[in-house]
Amino acid sequence: MRLVAAAERGIAQQITLERIALVFALGLAIGLPLSTSVVSVMGALLAVCGLLVFRYSLFSNIIGYSLLFFVMWYGFRAIDSYGEIQEARQYMHKIARLLLIPLLASFFTDYNWRRYIMLGFTFAVVFSVLVAMQRGVVLFKDNIITSLFVSFSIFILAHLAVEQKRWRWIAASIAALLIYYLLFIGTGRSGQLLFIMLSFLFCWQRFANNRKIQLLMLVAIGAIILACMLLPSSFMQRQQLALQEMRNYSVLHEDKVPHTSSMGVRLLLLHNTWELIKQRPLLGWGTGGYRNAYSRHAPEAAFASEQRSNPHNQYLSAWVEAGIFGLFGLIVFFSAALYVFIRQRSTEGYLGVGLVLTYAIGCLANSWLHDCAPSYFFILFTSLCLGAASSKYASESSI
């Protein structure tokens, strides 16, 4: 009897911990578009919950194995980093928090809580957009991160509109508002381009077997793009500016590239980071070693007026710091997650595919896995979608 009572208390404590973790996850979802402080606090609390339920079996899957390799290799490269000890610790922490993905996935078995988290995040994004439209400036996050969150919120709403028929028009109306902001007001080029990719992905995911609806959706996407081209829109302004900045970079000497040139700086970092990679292609400069290596060995160091701590490219960052095996680990991790989610025929599976592709593409021009809010966004929603993959509630009815 004592053993039974102890087992029952253990189960009750685990259920209580899971509910607490879900509340923290909802707080994290709401805080992502609004407050970095909230994200840091909720992320830390979720990490504690994840550690309390730690068991190796949570990593006994393709995503867990790929994450373990990726993080352990970064840990190995921190041993002889070219950077300061503090920098090595800082970047090791940024990479190590990816291990929360399989730990937190065990909390997301309940269908309704997964929807609460999706809606909490989406409504927080809508609030931030409404404030930005009223004030004329983004207040909570920078333009790039805001555009990332807005584009993925549209993707979430599109899938929920298909899944929740009684709320379809409400979801469609909110998505229309976000599309208008993203393409005609917002200046985040990354999110604008990702929106187009996610739109085509949504058509393929939901209407691959219905050519009529698929055609109508493609026409609608084409009409939106055409409207951006014919009407005054931030979308066309940002694309034209990108082309102009690339042309300027091709004719200017590197010391003449303006620091306000988004594409110019990225191309400058691409060239100089590649020079660093060629010096140490196999093992890299060590975890957190980029800033010191760049300031001492990059061609730009001879005339640079500011220190560079980030190549604005997750793949280059992995290669220059952790070597070819770091780059390999990042690509394997993205591929493993994509493989798992493609096989999952549910809303969460569709969102998981969209999330991985969003980051796989977006990280070509950003280091989102190093940034606080984008990193936790990826961790939270990858965990959520992964939790649904093994959940018997994955195809339950709506809330």
Amino acid at 355: L
Q: What angle do CA 43, 48, 51 make, to 5 degrees?
A: 120
What is the arithmetic mean of pLDDT over 20-26?
A: 93
- Percent of all residues in the chain with a pLDDT value above 90, rounded to a whole number: 58
Amino acid at 201: L
Residue 394 included in any domain: no
pLDDT on residue 307? 77
Distance, in Å, from the CA atom of 366 to the CA atom of 144, rounded to the nearest integer, reads 9
pLDDT band at 79 (very low <50, low <70, confident <90, very high): very high
Distance, in Å, from the CA atom of 275 to the CA atom of 169, rounded to the nearest integer, reads 52
Residue 331, classified by CB atoms within 10 Å of its CB into exposed (0-12), middle (13-18) or buried (19+), is middle
What is the arithmetic mean of pLDDT over 338-343?
A: 93
Task: Tell me the average pLDDT of the chain.
Answer: 87
pLDDT on residue 283? 93
pLDDT on residue 395? 44
Buried b (16+ CB within 10 A) or exposed e, 39-52: beebbebbbebbee
pLDDT band at 61 (very low <50, low <70, confident <90, very high): confident
Residue 398 included in any domain: no
* Closest CA relative to residue 369, chosen from 325, 292, 311, 303: 311
Q: Which structural domain, as residue segments, surrounds residue 127?
A: 2-389
pLDDT on residue 392? 45
| Centroid of chain to Cα 362 | 8
What is the arithmetic mean of pLDDT over 331-340?
A: 96
Q: Is the pLDDT of residue 136 over 80?
A: no
Distance, in Å, from the CA atom of 329 to the CA atom of 2, rounded to the nearest integer, reads 47
Q: Is the pLDDT of residue 8 over 50?
A: no
The owner of tokens 């951006």 is: 228
pLDDT band at 10 (very low <50, low <70, confident <90, very high): very low
Q: Is the pLDDT of residue 97 over 60?
A: yes
Q: Tell which wins on pLDDT, 336 or 6.
A: 336
pLDDT on residue 396? 43
Phi/psi at 303 (5° precision): -135, 5
pLDDT on residue 3? 45
Q: Is the pLDDT of residue 84 over 50?
A: yes
Distance, in Å, from the CA atom of 266 to the CA atom of 258, rounded to the nearest integer, reads 11
Q: What is the pLDDT of residues 362-394, one digit of tens each?
A: 999 999 999 999 999 999 999 999 998 766 444
| Centroid of chain to Cα 273 | 23
**Other Cβ atoms closer than 10 A to 54:** 13
pLDDT on residue 7? 44
Two tokens, residue 197: 């990719």
Distance, in Å, from the CA atom of 211 to the CA atom of 19, rounded to the nearest integer, reads 43
Residue 336 included in any domain: yes
pLDDT on residue 60? 77
pTM of the model: 0.91
Q: What is the pLDDT of residues 177-211, one digit of tens each?
A: 999 999 999 888 999 999 999 999 999 999 888 88
pLDDT on residue 143? 86
Q: What is the pLDDT of residues 27-41, one digit of tens each?
A: 999 999 999 999 999
Q: What is the pLDDT of residues 227-270, one digit of tens each?
A: 988 888 888 888 888 888 888 877 766 666 666 677 888 888 89
Q: How many domains does the chain have?
A: 1
Residue 369, classified by CB atoms within 10 Å of its CB into exposed (0-12), middle (13-18) or buried (19+), is buried
pLDDT on residue 259? 63
In contact, 189 and 262? CB cutoff 8 Å: yes
CA atoms 167, 168, 169, 175: torsion sign: positive
Q: Is the pLDDT of residue 398 over 70?
A: no
In contact, 200 and 210? CB cutoff 8 Å: no
Least confident of 40-54, 132-146, 382-396: 382-396
pLDDT on residue 255? 62
Residue 395 included in any domain: no
Distance, in Å, from the CA atom of 349 to the CA atom of 335, rounded to the nearest integer, reads 14
Contacts with 91 (C-beta within 8 Å, 6 or more apart), sequence order? 74, 78, 83, 287, 288, 321, 370
Q: Tell which wins on pLDDT, 210 or 24.
A: 24
Residue 207 included in any domain: yes
Q: Could you say which DSSP state residue 302 is in?
A: G
Two tokens, residue 235: 């979308």
Contacts with 301 (C-beta within 8 Å, 6 or more apart), sequence order? 294, 295
pLDDT on residue 184? 93
Least confident of 33-37, 138-142, 151-155: 138-142
In contact, 46 and 25? CB cutoff 8 Å: yes
* Closest CA relative to residue 28, chosen from 111, 124, 157, 103: 124
Contacts with 286 (C-beta within 8 Å, 6 or more apart), sequence order? 77, 78, 79, 80, 81, 82, 83, 88, 321, 322
* Closest CA relative to residue 152, chosen from 202, 214, 82: 202
Q: What is the pLDDT of residues 271-326, one digit of tens each?
A: 899 999 999 999 999 999 999 998 888 877 766 667 788 899 999 999 999 999 99
